[in-house]
């Protein structure tokens, strides 16, 4: 029997805010004091420690051998890709650099994809306008790069992160209120190799 090799890839990318209807924000939950320095973040998110991201790329892939597949074939064998983000330098930059060079980790990191057009005077961006949420545990900085060219207004900062567990939540808008509510959620622990948002 001829073997067919398939690669399944799951990824999400968000382009620079202002060029699309979605904005992306991140916070380091155990570094809240250093998070809130982003003047471009809406006040409701800034006070929670969120800072704006320029782009986000997160994914996983599973190489499936169709010729030898069995029930649940390949379950638990997915390979998670690194989490890539870009951002503008802020107070978090030095915290990320320190974490990289000393090899420390962040216990919890949260990334939200916000649909700001849904906001009204009575809605809260975090509570009502989040369309996707990525919660991460045991997060380490793998690489940190800065790029700036003559004439640029500000440097670009590229960060690659590794994580031990992830929980992905998807929210859909209510037809009447336009408020986003939880539709589905899934977790996976790379450390425990099981469906859990935990690392121990």
CATH number of the domain at 110, please: 2.30.110.20
For residue 69, being part of any structural domain is answered with no
What pLDDT score does 63 carry? 76
For residue 160, being part of any structural domain is answered with yes
More confident residue, 91 or 113: 113
- Residue 168: Cβ within 10 Å count: 18
| 45-59, 69-83, 118-132, range with the lowest pLDDT | 69-83
In whole angstroms, what is the distance from residue 26 CA to residue 110 CA? 6
For residue 163, being part of any structural domain is answered with yes
Count the domains in the chain.
Answer: 1
| 9-13, 56-60, 187-191, range with the lowest pLDDT | 9-13
What pLDDT score does 192 carry? 95
For residue 16, being part of any structural domain is answered with no
For residue 97, being part of any structural domain is answered with yes
In the predicted structure, residue 6 carries a pLDDT above the cut 60: no
In whole angstroms, what is the distance from residue 101 CA to residue 174 CA? 45
> Quick check: 63 and 17 in contact, CB under 8 A?
no
For residue 34, being part of any structural domain is answered with yes
In whole angstroms, what is the distance from residue 185 CA to residue 171 CA? 9
What's the angle, vertex CA 196, arms to CA 109 and CA 140, rounded to 5? 30
For residue 173, being part of any structural domain is answered with yes
Q: pLDDT tens digits, residue range 159-170?
A: 999 999 999 999
Print the domain residue range for 160. 23-58+80-189
For residue 12, being part of any structural domain is answered with no
Binned at pLDDT 50, 70 and 90, residue 152 comes out as confident
CB burial of 40-73 (b: ≥16 within 10 Å; e: otherwise) equals ebbeebbebbbbbbbbbebeeebebeeeeeeeee
Binned at pLDDT 50, 70 and 90, residue 51 comes out as very high
Q: Which run of H or of E encompasses 46?
A: helix 43-46
């Amino acid at each position: 029997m001829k073997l067919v090799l398939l690669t399944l890839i799951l990824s999400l990318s968000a382009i620079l805010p202002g060029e699309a209807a979605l904005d992306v924000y991140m916070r380091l939950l155990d570094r809240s004091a250093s998070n809130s320095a982003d003047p471009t973040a809406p006040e409701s998110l800034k006070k929670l420690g969120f800072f704006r991201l320029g782009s986000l790329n997160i994914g996983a892939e599973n190489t499936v051998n169709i010729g030898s597949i069995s029930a649940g074939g390949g379950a638990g064998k997915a390979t998670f890709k690194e989490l890539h983000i870009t951002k503008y330098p802020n107070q978090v930059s030095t915290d990320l650099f320190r974490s990289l060079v000393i090899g420390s980790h962040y216990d919890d990191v949260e990334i939200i994809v916000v649909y700001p057009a849904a906001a009204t005077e009575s809605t809260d961006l975090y509570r009502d306008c989040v369309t996707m949420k990525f919660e991460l545990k045991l997060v380490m900085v793998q690489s940190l790069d800065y790029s700036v060219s003559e004439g640029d207004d500000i440097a670009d900062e590229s960060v690659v992160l590794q994580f031990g567990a992830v929980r992905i939540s998807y929210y859909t808008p209510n037809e009447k209120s336009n408020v986003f509510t939880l539709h589905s959620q899934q977790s996976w622990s790379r450390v425990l190799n099981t469906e859990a948002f935990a690392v121990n």
